[in-house]
Amino acid sequence: MTRILSIVAVAAILFTSCSNDDDNSNPIETPETYAFTRNNASTVDFSGQTTRIAMADALVNALKDNTKTQAQLDGMFTHAQGNADFTDANLNASDKNVRSKTAASTDFFASNTTAANAIKADFDGWIASQVTNVFPKWNTVATAGNAGQLQQSGGGTIRYINAKGLEYNQALAKGLIGALMLDQILNNYLSQAVLDAGTNKADNNNGVLESGKSYTSMEHKWDEAYGYLYGSEVDPAVPVLDADQFLSEYIERVSADSDFATIDDDVYNAFKLGRAAIVAKNYKVRNAQAEIIKENLSKIPAVRGVFYLQASKANLGVDNARAFHALSEAYGFIYSLQFTRKPNSTQPYVTKTEVEGYLSQLMAGNGFWDVTATTIDSVSDAIAAKFGFTTAQAATVE
């Protein structure tokens, strides 16, 4: 059920002392919505992010169509302008694609192309394996060590899995939440290296706009971060969440848990205040809001990863289709943990090596067919500890 974010009208005005260009005396009033104008024209633009979310959505859905070829699926991931990779003509006409922005942040990957290429290769591999290993067994009942289908009890949904029980579409969908959305928000567009690149700060101070645009470069970078979360909304200025199957859906689900009830408002309010701070040329306040966003958005894959791990236990060996579906979602969320960002640091909450260790435990032997509740609890507790919550807190709300 879609829940409208509460809009808190903040009457207080934040003032800061004038000491340097990062901490000036311009007052900042927190806006009620994410709406910013200059000369009666909106200065907010994140069309590229909206496009990539739509492309990612189409790709994830196509992975469940066993008539698709690998070339077709690869085309949706690596789209080149003008290619007929999508049913949406606007997406076909776009010069954007998903793969180029996967594991592509300035802070984490600009100087580490080896790691970036390895992550891109993971997504390439999931697509290829869906076509070569799962599609040929579409109508075959899966068993330990053999790909195929499993139907949830009571005539429920059919799940299509690899030999170890993993649904590649879930790994890819939840993996993109980290490798695309979180990485671009936390480690790219909210990075001071990007916000303050080149002459961005001087241009913002002097009202120098991008050529032919209504916004400064710094304003636009902040908006692009906003777009990876809210870009699918009908009215992005006043988001209602659950607008797509990526961050939008899962920040709503996390905030439905009373232990994390303010996370949606905390992120939305920080985005609004940070954008207002850019307009006011107060970069100290801007930077503080970026850290709030990093801390809160980083929790999304952690909370949901632990939730799905715990949700799988009751169905193991009883309804494996349900159990393996939950574990597949957990797999993708755990994969995404390497793209999280500790506030006021240059490090993720969970390293790539640690992520690979968790996943290896879950996939040992015949993978989900062999995994035990003891292993699930061990991985759950380790992840929860990294983020300062408990397994029980994450496991309570669907």
Supply the pLDDT for residue 396.
Answer: 86
How far apart, in whole angstroms, are the C-alpha atoms of residue 298 and residue 275? Answer: 20
Supply the pLDDT for residue 256.
Answer: 96
Q: 388 with 328: CB under 8 angstroms?
A: no
Q: For the chain, what is the largest distance between any 2 Cα atoms, rounded to a whole number of angstroms?
A: 70
How far apart, in whole angstroms, are the C-alpha atoms of residue 165 and residue 342? Answer: 32
- The residue among 304, 309, 293, 302 whose CA lies nearest residue 385 is 302
**Amino acid residing at 316:** L
Supply the pLDDT for residue 334.
Answer: 99
- The residue among 190, 218, 188, 192 whose CA lies nearest residue 203 is 218
Bridging pattern class, strands 37-38 and 28-29? unpaired
Supply the pLDDT for residue 23.
Answer: 59
What secondary structure letter does DSSP report for 185?
A: I
- The residue among 322, 327, 366, 311 whose CA lies nearest residue 159 is 322
Supply the pLDDT for residue 13.
Answer: 33
How far apart, in whole angstroms, are the C-alpha atoms of residue 230 and residue 247? Answer: 8
Helix axes 263-279, 217-230, angle to 10 degrees: 160
pLDDT in tens, the chain (398 residues): 333 333 333 333 333 333 345 556 667 988 999 999 999 999 999 999 999 999 999 999 999 999 999 999 999 999 999 999 999 999 999 999 999 999 999 999 999 999 999 999 999 999 999 999 999 999 999 999 999 999 999 999 999 999 999 999 999 999 999 999 999 999 999 999 999 999 999 999 999 999 999 999 999 999 999 999 999 999 999 999 999 999 999 999 999 999 999 999 999 999 999 999 999 999 999 999 999 999 999 999 999 999 999 999 999 999 999 999 999 999 999 999 999 999 999 999 999 999 999 999 999 999 999 999 999 999 999 999 999 999 999 998 76
How far apart, in whole angstroms, are the C-alpha atoms of residue 185 and residue 340? Answer: 10
The tokens for 326 are 């939950």
How far apart, in whole angstroms, are the C-alpha atoms of residue 222 and residue 295? Answer: 17
Bridging pattern class, strands 41-42 and 37-38? antiparallel
SS3 at position 8? coil
The tokens for 310 are 């715990």
